[in-house]
Amino acid sequence: MEDAREGYRQALSLHKRTRALRFQKMDIEREIAVATEAGDDERMSYLLGALQQVQMEIARMENQEAIIDGFGVMSGRVKGAATGHGG
């Protein structure tokens, strides 16, 4: 039971971190639009670097969630409602 609890806590933590990163990505994308309109090339360069870092972190977190989501499949566990949640 404790293993299940710990697995749930880890999955929830990963989910919250991925969600926060998605919001951060949206904020950066909005800032890129503003910098583009203002013609601020220096700010654009910084923001594009930040966006790339956030996207890489999101991909890393999604890979970890996929590993957790697939836990037990090899032993015959059937994936339930978690299948079909999108990104």
Please choose, from the candidates 33, 24, 13, the residue with its C-alpha nearest in 3D space to the C-alpha of residue 52.
24
Confidence of residue 13 (pLDDT cuts 50, 70, 90): confident
Q: For residues 40 and 30, give the distance between their C-alpha atoms in angstroms, rounded to a whole number.
A: 14
Q: For residues 13 and 81, give the distance between their C-alpha atoms in angstroms, rounded to a whole number.
A: 19
Residue-wise pLDDT tens digits, 44-81: 999 999 999 999 999 988 887 666 665 555 555 455 44
Report pLDDT for 81.
45
